[in-house]
Amino acid sequence: MKQGLLFVVSGPSGAGKTSLLERLFAQDDNLRFSVSMTTRPPRPEEREGRDYFFVTPEVFAQARREGQLLEWAEVHGYFYGTPQAEVEKLQREGWDVVLDIDVQGAHQVRERAEDAIFIFISPPSLEVLGERLRARGTEKETDLARRLADAEWEMGFREEFDYEVVNDSLEVAADQLRAIVVAERCRIRRNPTNQ
Ligand code: 5GP
């Protein structure tokens, strides 16, 4: 069986990654979401094992030490990481896997998985991003200020990605994201390492 593709989706929080990915998953039956490990506390709507594996700093440190993580980063004061074994298993089973990770993590994946496809989700502007984060209201004020400051820094990584989707209209951006996935499935890969 043909091994699945690896899509890495990054961008500042509030750019709309989660909404876009929800739409993408609703439209596409061959995608699987890689559930990350994090030390951040769960938000009310979040479920263990679906959105994240919520772990203590000790459990996270152990996973890191044991080399269980494909990549990891500290984001907004918490640790996040991608369990490698699960991603590889899903790809072997033929699923195309989507990582929703920060720019530092994307940078690490680029070095380790050269066949991965990197997609950057941008907000139309930093002003719009600030408005969206405030409207979401899930963060404490201190977290929110930190996320805004980080967003500007994260935008600087844009050039490391293969594609950019500017999330102005959710409809248009969702179409673009889906088009990228479809196009990548049609790509003829020279010297494939993944077949
Ligand atoms: P949130 O706390 O809003 O769910 O996520 C904050 C940031 O952490 C987002 O940019 C998200 O993409 C990123 N993130 C989530 N999981 C991972 C992961 O496993 N690794 C890395 N490097 N970043 C992650």
Distance 118 CA to ligand 1 centre (A): 15
Q: Is 82 in the pocket of ligand 1 (CB under 6 A)?
A: yes
Please indicate, yes or no, if residue 195 is contained in any of the structural domains.
Answer: no
Query: Does 133 map to a domain?
Result: yes
> Does residue 73 have its Cβ closer than 6 Å to ligand 1?
yes
Question: For the chain, what is the domain count?
Answer: 1
Residue 81 lies in a domain: yes
Asked whether 139 lines ligand 1 (CB < 6 A), one says: no
The CATH number that applies at residue 48 is 3.40.50.300
Domain holding 97, by residue range, is 6-186
Q: Roughly how many angstroms between the first and final C-alpha of the chain, as a whole number? A: 8
Query: In this structure, are strands 78-83 and 36-38 parallel, antiparallel, or unpaired?
Result: antiparallel
Instruction: Walk along the chain (195 residues) and give the pLDDT tens digit of each residue.
Output: 789 999 999 998 788 999 999 999 999 999 999 999 999 999 999 999 999 999 999 999 999 999 999 999 998 889 999 999 999 999 999 999 999 999 999 999 999 998 999 999 999 998 888 888 888 776 677 777 888 888 999 999 999 999 999 999 999 999 999 999 999 999 998 866 544
Cα(148)–Cα(75) distance, integer angstroms: 12
